[in-house]
Structure 1
Amino acid sequence: MADADRDAYLAGLTPGADIDHRGTTFTEPLLRDLLDALRDPGTGRPRLGDAQFGSVTFQGGASFVSATFQGGASFVSAAFEGGAGFVSATFESVARFVSAAFEGLADFESATFEDVTRFGSATFQDLTTFESAAFERSADFESATFERDARFGSATFQGDARFVSAAFEGGAGFVSATFERDARFESATFQGRAEFVLATFQGDAWFVSATFQGDASFGSATFERGTGFVSATFEGRAEFVLATFQGDAWFVLATFQGDARFEQAVFERSASLGPLVCAGRVKLSGAVFGGPVTLSFAARRLECRRTRWSSTAELRLRYATVDFAHAVFEYPLTIAAEADPFVLPDGQPVAEQALADAPDAPDAPDDTVRIASLRGVDAAHLVLADVDLSGCLFTGTVHLDQLRLEGNCSFDAVPPRTQWRRWRPVRFTQRRTLAEEHHWRASRPAAVRGWNVAVLGTGRVGPLQLAPVYRALRKAFEDGKHEPGAADFYYGEMEMRRHADDIPRSERSLLTAYWALSGYGLRASRALGWLAAAMLVTIMLMMGFGLPKDSPKQEATGTVPPGGGKVTFEIDKADPQNPTGNRFTGERFENALNVTLNSVVFRSSGQDLTTTGTYIEMASRVTEPVLLGLAVLAVRNRVKR
C-alpha cells in the first residue's frame, strides 16, 4: 500500500477491530503503527478483535506486550525473525501458533490464554519464556520444537497440556508450574535439563516413552492422580526427591542410565516401580509407601535406608546390592532375586543393555543380589529368597530369629582351610560366618590373612554384639528345619562367647576345652581324633603299667583230719605283680586293647590289672565314652532334619 492509503487504513481502525494481515511482512515500525491504532485510550493497551496473522513475517522484533486479543488470534506458520514479545498479553479466544517459527526470543511471560492454545509443530530457536503464563483451556504444543531453553516457570495450565512429541533441545523449565488437568508428554524429547521442581499435576501426568537426555528433576513435585513413566528413558540423573504421588504411579519398563533418586518421596497409593533397568543407583532412602507396591529392578545398587512401607511389598531384583538399614515395614515384605531377566507382557525379556554399557560395568555382569545391611530393621515380617548375605551387616537387627530365609541364601565362609601365622600353619574349620566376624577378626593384632577387612562406615563390633546375632540366626534356621545350617551358627555363637570379655575366665576355659575336643559337639573328626589318641595312650599305659607280670593263680589249702572225714579248702588269690622285663609284647597288646575297647563302651573287661592299671581303666571308662558321645553328637547335628 502507498503511504497515504496505509495511513488512511490505520486511521480507520478502532480498539477491538478485526484485522486480517495474512501473508503480510511487518517491520517493527509498521507493527508499532498498527498496534498504536488499536490501542485503548482508557488502558493504554492494544485491543484486537479477530486477529489473523497467518504466514506473516515479522522482520524485526514483534512486540505484543499487554495486548488483548478479544477474538481468535491466529499466527499459523508465522515467522518471527526477531524477538516475539507477548508479555502480559491476554488471549480471550482460541490462540493458534501452529507451525510458527520463532527465530529470536519468544517471551510469553505472564500471558493469559483463556481458550484453547495451539503451538503444534512450532519452532522456538531461541529462549522461550512462558513464566507465570495462564492457560485457562487446553494448551497444545504437540510436535513443537524448542531449540534453546523453554521456561514455563509458575505457568498454570487449567485445561489439558499437550506436549506430545515435543522436542526440547535446550533446557525445559516447568518450575512451580501447575497442571490442573492432564499433562501429556508422550514421546517428548528433553535434550537439556528438564526441571519440574515444585510442579503440581492435578490431573494425570503421562511421560510415556519420553526421553530425558539430560538430568531430569521432579523434586518436591506433586502428582495428585495417575502418573505414568512407562518406557521412559533417563540418560542423565533422575531426581524425584520429596515428590508426592497421591495416585497410582507406574515406572514400568523405564530405563535409567544414571542414578534414580526417590529419597523421601511419598507414594500414597499403589506403585509399580518396574520392571525397570538402572545402570546406576536406585535411591529410595526415606521414601514412604502407603499402599501395596511391587519393585522390580535390574540395578547396580538399591538404597532403602529408613524407607517406610505401610502395606505389603515385594522387591524382585537383579544385580543389585541392597542397603536396607533402618527400614520400617508393618506388613510382610519380600526381597527376592530373579534368576532370569524380567519378561515383557509379550513374552520378550527386558533389555538390560544399559547395565552392560555403564562405564564401571564389569565385562561379565554378576546377577547375584547382595544384601549390604539389615541394621536397625525389625525382621519379624521380612522374607529373603535366593540372596547373597556374605557381606550383610546384622548387628542391631530386631527379631532376627523370626527372619525367613527361602531358597539359596548364602553366607560368607572362613578363610581357606590352611593359613600361616608366624611360620606355623593355622587350620580353619569350614562353616558359615557373618561379615562382621570377618571384620572383627581382621582387626585383631595377630590376624591371619583371609579375613575380610571392614570398609569405611560399617562400624566396629565385637564378640559381645555378635553372639546374640548368631543365636538369633540359629533359631531362624531351626524354625526353618535347616538343622545343619543352624549348627554353623551355633558354632559361631560359641566362638563369640569364647572370645567375649563379659564371660568369666572359668567358663571361657570350659568353652575352650569344649572347642578343642569336639568343635562344640559339631566336629566328629576332632572328637574321633581325640578318642583315637586317648585309646592309644590307654593301650600304652596298660602295656607299661596296668597289666600284671603273670596272671594270678588260685591256691587251695586245707586240713585232712586223722582217720578221714570231711575236707575243707580255703582258696586265696595272690595279688597281681607289677610287670618287669619286656612289657610291649603281642600278648600284652591284645590284653590292653581288650581293656581299652571295653572302656570305650563303658564296660569292664574282667582282666586282672595292677593297682595302677585299675586307675587307668577308671579314667579311660570316663573320658573315652564321653569322646565317643561327642563324635556321635556331631554326626547327629550334621544329618538331623
Structure 2
Amino acid sequence: MSTAEPPLWPHCAHGADPAADPVGCRGIHVPGHTVCLAHLSVDDRDSYLAALTPGAGIDHRGTHFTESLLNALLNALHDPETGHPRLGHTKFELATFEGDALFESVIFEDCALFESVIFAGDHALFGQATFKSSANFASATFKGQAGFDQATFEVGSAGFGSATFEAATFESRAEFGLTTFEGIALFDSATFEGGAGFLMAIFKDTARFISATFQGDALFTDATFKGNTWFNSATFQGDAWFESTTFVAAEQLGPLACTGRVVLSGAAFGGPVTLSFAARRLECRRTRWSSTAEIRLRYATVDFAHAVFEYPLTIAAEPDPFVLANGRHLAEEPFPILAVPRDPRVRMASLRGVDAAHLVLSDLDLSGCLFAGTVHLDQLRLEGACTFDTAPPAVWWRWPPVRFTERRVLAEEHHWRASQPGAVQGWNVAVLGAGRAGPLQLAPVYRALRKAFEDGKHEPGAADFYYGEMEMRRHADDIPRSELGLLTAYWALSGYGLRASRALAWLGAAMLLTIVLLMAFGLAKDTPKQTAIGTVPTGGGKVTFEIDKDDPQNSTGNRFTGKRFERALNVTLNSVVFRSSGQDLTTAGTYIEMTSRLTEPVLLGLAVLAIRNRVKR
C-alpha cells in the first residue's frame, strides 16, 4: 500500500500532515473509540484490555506495537487453564511490531492474519505456538530472527487451513524446526536472506516453495513431506540440506538452482519422482528410492555411493536449461558457479556400494567416478555420450620413452598407477576416495563394465575395458609366473589382441627378419641337378640306375642381391598365408620357413582380430 493511500478500514489518522503524510496512523479504531490501540489513552487502554477474555477475537490492523504494548495485549488474553495466551480471530494486517514480538506458546483458535506485517525488532518468535486455522503471513517482513520452532499449523474444523508465507521476507535467520503444518504450507516467492531452518518439520499436506529464494543455507534435515512438494524455480545461493528427509508422495522436486550442494544423503522417496537440479554438487549417499525415479541435472558432480533403489532409476545430464511450467527457462545467470564459460556437464563421483541392476546413466562424465564395490555392475546401462578418463599421452623426454595405449581408463587405475614408485607423469593421483583399490579389485570392475558395453552393442568400448581387465591381471600380485609370461607376450605382440598396429608392426619385423635370414642362409645357390648312378653288366642284360639329387648349397658369393631378395620375399609372403613357395631352400632355410609359417600367420590373425574388435557393433 502506498503511503498516500488510506487503508480500507476506519483508521486512527494520528500525526496526519496534509503535506508530509495525509493519512497518518493507519491503525484501526478500537471499538467504541476513534483512535487505534497505540494512541488510546492509558485509562481507555486499560479498560479495553480488562474487557478482553481468552479466546476473544482482536482486530488491530495497521497498529504500531511496541514490545510493552504487545505484551500487555497478550497478557489480557492469558488463559489460566492452559497458562498461555489464547486468541480468536486475529487481524494484524499491515501492523508494525517494534522490539521483540514474542508470540511463543500462543494459541490461535481461529484465523491469524499477519499479512504485510513488519517485524522490525531483533526477534519475532512463534515457538510452540498453535494455529488451529489458517495463518497468513503473506508479504510479511521479518527484519530480525524469525522463530517458529515446534509451532503447529493445524487444519481448521471445516477441514481446511493453511500456513501462508507467500512473498514474505526474512532478513535474518528463519527457524521452523519441529514445526508441524497440518494444512497447506505456502512459501511461494518468499525470500530468506539469512539461513532457513526446517529441521524435523512435518508437512502433512502440500508444501510449496515455488520461486522462493534462499540466500543462505536452507536446512530441511529430518523433515517429512507427506504431500506434494513444490520447489519449482526455487533458488539456493548456499547449500540445500535435505539430509534424512522423507518424501512420502512427492512427484517432482524442482527444477531448482543451487550454487552450493543439494544434500539428499539418507533421504527416502516413497513414490515415483523426478528430480531436476542445476547445482554445483548433488550428494545422494545412502538415499533410498522405493519406486521409479529420474534425476535430471546440469553442472552437478554427483556422489551416489551406497544409494538404494529397487526399481529403474535414471541419472541424465540435461543439455539445455530446464523449462518451467510457464514455458520459461530456469534462471541460471545470477549464480557464479553457473557463470561463463558455461559447462553444463554432469560428473559422477562415486557409485560405490550401489546395486546397479536397475541403474541407467545417460550423457554423464564418468572420468572421476569410483566403481570399485559396485554390485551387478555388468547390468549397468550406459546411454548417450558417457565419457571416461583416458591414459596419459606419450612421454618422450625420459629414457626409455613411454607411450601408453589410448583407451578408456577408470579413475581408480589412475590413482593406483600414480601411486606406484617411478610413476610416469600424467596419471592422476588426486582421485578423492579412491583408497587402496589395486589390480585385484579393479580387474572384476573392468570385466563387469566390459560385459555392460557388450550388452549395449558397443564393442569398441568393450574392447577398452577388456584391455583394462587384462592389464590389471598382468599387474596382479597373485598371478603365477607362467601365466604372467603368457600375458606379457600377449600384451607385447598385439595388445591383448586389440592393437592391430602392434601386431602388424611385429608381423613386418618378422617378415623382414625372415627375408634377411633366407637371403643369408636359406636360399640355394643353384637349382640342384638330378644325377643317375648305376652299373652296366659286361655280359648284357638288365641296366640299373639310381636317380638322386644333390642337397641345395648356400651361395658362396654375394648373397644380398636383388634376385635373392625377390626369392626370399616370395617365400616369406607365402609363409604368411600357409602356402609353399616351391623355392629350393637349404636345410637352414627349411627351418626358417617352418618358423615363419608358424609365427607370421598368427601375427596376421591377431591384427585382423584387433581390427574387427574396433569396427564391429
Structure 2 match to 1:205? 185
Q: Distance in 2 between matches of 1:26 and 1:245?
A: 41
The residue correspondences of 1:8-407 to structure 2 (distance < 5 A) are 20-23=32-35, 30-31=42-43, 34-35=46-47, 47-48=50-51, 68=53, 73-80=58-65, 83-84=68-69, 85=71, 86-90=73-77, 110-113=84-87, 115-148=88-121, 149-181=123-155, 182-355=162-335, 357-358=336-337, 363-407=340-384
| TM-score of the two chains, using structure 1 as the length reference | 0.86
Q: Secondary structure at the match of 2:434?
A: coil
- Contact 1:47/1:70 (<8 A) preserved: no
Equivalent residue of 1:371, what SS? strand
Deviations 1:419-472 (A, max 9, x none): 544x33111111111111100110011101111113454312111100000000
CA distance in 2, matches of 1:424, 1:323: 40
| Alignment deviations for residues 153-178 of structure 1 (CA, whole Å, 9 cap, x no partner) | 00000011111111111111000000
Distance 2:195 2:224 in 1: 19
- In 2, the alpha carbon distance for the partners of 1:290 and 1:136 equals 34
SS of residue paired to 1:539: helix
For the residues of structure 2 that align with 1:194 and 1:621, how far apart are their CA atoms? 84
Cα distance between partner residues in 2 of 1:176 and 1:82: 23
Partner of 2:471: 495
Residues in 1 aligned to 2:133 and 2:384: alpha-carbon distance in whole angstroms: 52
- State the alpha-carbon separation in 1 of the partners of residues 129 and 598 from structure 2: 91
Confirm or deny that 1:543 pairs with 2:519: yes
Report deviation, 1:74: 4.2
Q: Distance in 1 between matches of 2:403 and 2:57?
A: 90
Cα displacement (A) at 1:29: 9.7
Q: Is the 8 A contact 1:304 1:327 kept in 2?
A: yes
Give the 3-state SS of the residue equivalent to 1:426 in structure 2.
coil
- Contact 2:304 2:352 (8 Å CA) reproduced: yes
Following superposition, the deviation at residue 558 of structure 1 comes to 4.9
Q: Deviations over 1:64-91 (max 9, x none)?
A: xxx6267654445544456222344438
Q: Which secondary structure does the structure 2 equivalent of 1:467 belong to? A: helix
The alpha-carbon deviation at position 564 of structure 1 amounts to: 8.1
1:425 alignment counterpart: 401
1:158-199 Cα deviation digits (max 9, x unpaired)? 011111111111111000000002111111111110100000
Change (3 A) 1:638 1:19: closer
Gaps of 5+ in 1: 1-17, 39-45, 49-66, 93-108
Paired AA for residue 141 in structure 1: F
Question: How far apart in 2 are the matches of 1:471 and 1:26?
Answer: 79
* Structure 2 partner of 1:98: none
Alpha-carbon shift at residue 591 of structure 1 (Å) = 1.6
- Aligned runs of 1:556-635 on 2, under 5 Å? 556-558=532-534, 569-635=545-611
After TM superposition, the structure 1 stretch with the greater mean CA deviation from structure 2, 581-590 or 304-313, is: 581-590
Separation (CA, whole Å) in 1 of partners of 2:63 and 2:339: 53
In structure 2, the CA distance between the partners of 1:597 and 1:76, relative to structure 1 (3 Å rule), is closer
Instruction: Name the CA shift for 1:428/1:458 in 2 (closer, same or farther; >3 Å).
Output: closer
Secondary structure of the 2:401 match is: strand
* Secondary structure at the counterpart of residue 280 of structure 1: strand
Query: Which residue type is aligned with residue 481 of structure 1?
Result: K
2:224 & 2:460 partners in 1: Cα distance? Answer: 47
Q: 1:19 to 1:560 in 2, by over 3 A?
A: closer
Shift in CA distance, 546/174, structure 1 to aligned 2, threshold 3 Å: same
| Aligned CA distance change for structure 1 residues 189 and 110 (closer, same or farther; 3 Å) | same
Alpha-carbon contact 2:110-2:133 (below 8 Å) kept: yes
Q: d(CA) in 1 for partners of 2:326 and 2:432?
A: 45
Structure 2: runs of 5+ lacking an equivalent: 1-29, 156-161
Q: Report the CA distance shift for 1:419/1:453 in structure 2 as closer, same or farther (over 3 A).
A: farther
TM-score (norm 2): 0.89
CA contact (8 A) 1:277 1:354 kept: no
1:363 CA drift (Å): 4.1
User: Aligned partners of 2:179 and 2:352: how far apart in 1?
Assistant: 36
Aligned residues: 576
1:86-124, CA deviations, whole angstroms, 9 ceiling, x for partnerless residues? 3444389xxxxxxxxxxxxxxxx93101x2111111111
> 1:352 deviation in Å?
0.4
Aligned pairs (5 A) from 1:443-458: 443-458=419-434
Paired residue secondary structure (2:603): helix
Q: After superposition, give the CA deviation of every residue in 1:4-49 in whole Å (9 maximum; x if it has no partner).
A: xxxxxxxxxxxxxx973443898999449945xx9xxxxxxx751x
Does the 8 Å contact 1:419/1:449 carry over to 2?
no
Residue type of the alignment partner of 1:241:
T
Counterpart of 1:147, as a letter, is: A
**In 2: Cα distance, 1:515 partner to 1:537 partner:** 21
2:402 aligns to what SS in structure 1?
strand
- Asked whether the equivalents of residues 59 and 92 of structure 2 are also in contact (C-alpha less than 8 Å), the reply is no
**SS, match of residue 383 in structure 1:** strand
Code of the aligned partner of 2:232: V
| Distance in 2 of aligned mates of 1:19 and 1:637 | 91
In 2, Cα distance between the equivalents of 1:617 and 1:605? 10
Q: Which segment is superposed worse, 130-139 or 558-567?
A: 558-567
How far apart in 1 are the matches of 2:50 and 2:275? 56
Identify if the C-alpha distance between structure 1 residues 19 and 240 changes in structure 2 by more than 3 Å, giving closer, same or farther. Answer: closer
3-state secondary structure, aligned to 2:442: helix
AA aligned to 1:299 is A
> CA separation in 2, counterparts of 1:257 and 1:362?
14
Counterparts in 2 of 1:627 and 1:188: CA distance versus 1, 3 Å: same
- Shift of the 340–24 alpha-carbon distance from structure 1 to 2, 3 Å rule, reads closer
Contact kept, 8 Å, 1:279 with 1:354, in 2: the verdict is no
What is the CA–CA distance in structure 2 between the aligned matches of 1:26 and 1:344, rounded to whole Å?
A: 47
Counterparts of 2:50 and 2:393, CA distance in 1: 88
Give the 3 Å change call, closer, same or farther, for CA 598–197 of structure 1 in structure 2.
same
Indicate the larger mover: 296-305 or 343-352: 343-352
> Residue deviations 1:224-278, cap 9 Å, x none?
1111111111111111000011111111111111110000000011241111111
SS at match of 1:278: strand
Instruction: Judge which range, 557-566 or 546-555, deviates more.
Output: 557-566
